[in-house]
Amino acid sequence: MCDELDFGAIGAAQHAGVPSVVVSVIASGALVRPTRLTHALGQLGEALGLSVPVRSRGDLFVVPFARPMRDPLFPTPDDALWMRPDAGPPPAPDGSIVATLGTEFNTESGDLFHRILAALARFNTPSVLAVGNDVDPARFGRQPAHVQVRRFVDFDALLPRASVVVHHGGSGLFLRSVLSGTPQVVLPMGADQPFNARRVDDLGLGATLDPTTVDSSDIFEAITAVLANDQALESTAALRRSTLNLPAPADVIAHISSSVL
């Protein structure tokens, strides 16, 4: 079992004659495009001594995201196995704001943290910014009493209580925000983030901003608008229900066991 970007593991399993189960990790499905991989997977197959290309999606393909999260431009295989992710605590919003730029692009975001903090300072509600292990919270100086800057936070505990989450658009935060029932303000910087941000726009889950040009006032206004947007809250709740209606992990495991073991 491996994720959908681990073509080496898929090829190794195929070479060994071992069934492979590939799990989607990109919410929008936009990064792995089989038509673009045909030549490379053929070369990998040849290097492994196979008579056929490496199968980009293995023997079984598991998708732990709701169908609407997938970009229709990059369709899911017809035989995909849909699986419900861990739901976590139910939503209980208290007006708080959670913000993060993840743990990869956070160190390459220029002064975006400062712009986010300047926006959070204008609210009179508990707010927390998670900056990751490679950024020292002390570099941001003294903040208003309602704003905390931490290296790490427990998103599973904080997001269900948050009324809006400001983040980079990674698939993990995108999914966790939906499961927490929390509308989103997305600042996509790269990788899968712009594609996930497009789904946020298309599904009415919040707002997206350009991280290279946005200023603190823009971020403040976007958060304010999302907090007042009942439709974003309702759309998020509907997508959460759709996600929780997916087959249970135990049922998917049983199907895998009967299919390949």
CATH number, domain with residue 149: 3.40.50.2000
Are both 79 and 164 inside the same structural domain? Answer: no
- Amino acid 260: pLDDT: 79
- Amino acid 146: pLDDT: 97
Residue 90 lies in a domain: no
Are both 239 and 124 inside the same structural domain? Answer: yes
What is the DSSP secondary-structure string of 9-53?
Answer: HHHHHHHHT---EEE---TT--S--HHHHHHHHHHHHHHTT-SSP
Whole-angstrom Cα Rg for the chain: 20
CA dist 199 to 7, 57, 102, 233, Å?
26, 23, 19, 15
Residue 91 lies in a domain: no
Are both 159 and 256 inside the same structural domain? Answer: no
Residue 52 lies in a domain: yes
Are both 134 and 237 inside the same structural domain? Answer: yes
Are both 121 and 177 inside the same structural domain? Answer: yes
Q: What is the pLDDT of residues 159-171, one digit of tens each?
A: 999 999 999 999 9
- Amino acid 169: pLDDT: 96
The mean per-residue pLDDT over the stretch 92-105 comes to: 94
Least confident of 1-15, 87-101, 103-117, 244-258: 103-117
Are both 211 and 229 inside the same structural domain? Answer: yes
Whether pLDDT at 202 is above 90: yes
- Amino acid 108: pLDDT: 81
Are both 147 and 226 inside the same structural domain? Answer: yes
Are both 6 and 101 inside the same structural domain? Answer: no
pLDDT above 90 covers a percentage of the chain that reads 91
Residue 79 lies in a domain: yes
Domains identified in the chain, total number: 2
| Beta carbons of 59 and 260 less than 8 angstroms apart | yes
What the block records as the tokens of 161 is 């209580």
- State the Cα–Cα distance between residues 72 and 30, nearest whole angstrom: 9
The mean per-residue pLDDT over the stretch 45-63 comes to: 94
Residue 146 lies in a domain: yes
- Amino acid 20: pLDDT: 95
Are both 225 and 192 inside the same structural domain? Answer: yes
- Amino acid 105: pLDDT: 84
What band does 35 get if pLDDT is binned at 50, 70 and 90?
confident
What is the number of residues in the chain? 261
Residue 143 lies in a domain: yes
Are both 30 and 102 inside the same structural domain? Answer: no
Rounded to the nearest integer, the mean pLDDT of the chain is 95
Are both 122 and 197 inside the same structural domain? Answer: yes
pLDDT above 70 covers a percentage of the chain that reads 100
What band does 158 get if pLDDT is binned at 50, 70 and 90?
very high
What band does 103 get if pLDDT is binned at 50, 70 and 90?
confident
Higher pLDDT, 172 or 261: 172
Whether pLDDT at 261 is above 80: no
Q: What is the pLDDT of residues 165-201, one digit of tens each?
A: 999 999 999 999 999 999 999 999 999 999 999 999 9
Residue 117 lies in a domain: yes
The mean per-residue pLDDT over the stretch 70-88 comes to: 92
Domain range for residue 24?
Answer: 2-85+247-260
Are both 65 and 168 inside the same structural domain? Answer: no
Other beta carbons less than 10 A from residue 8's beta carbon: 12
- Amino acid 26: pLDDT: 96
CA dist 56 to 40, 69, 172, 249, Å?
10, 21, 22, 23
- Amino acid 33: pLDDT: 86
pTM listed for this prediction? 0.93
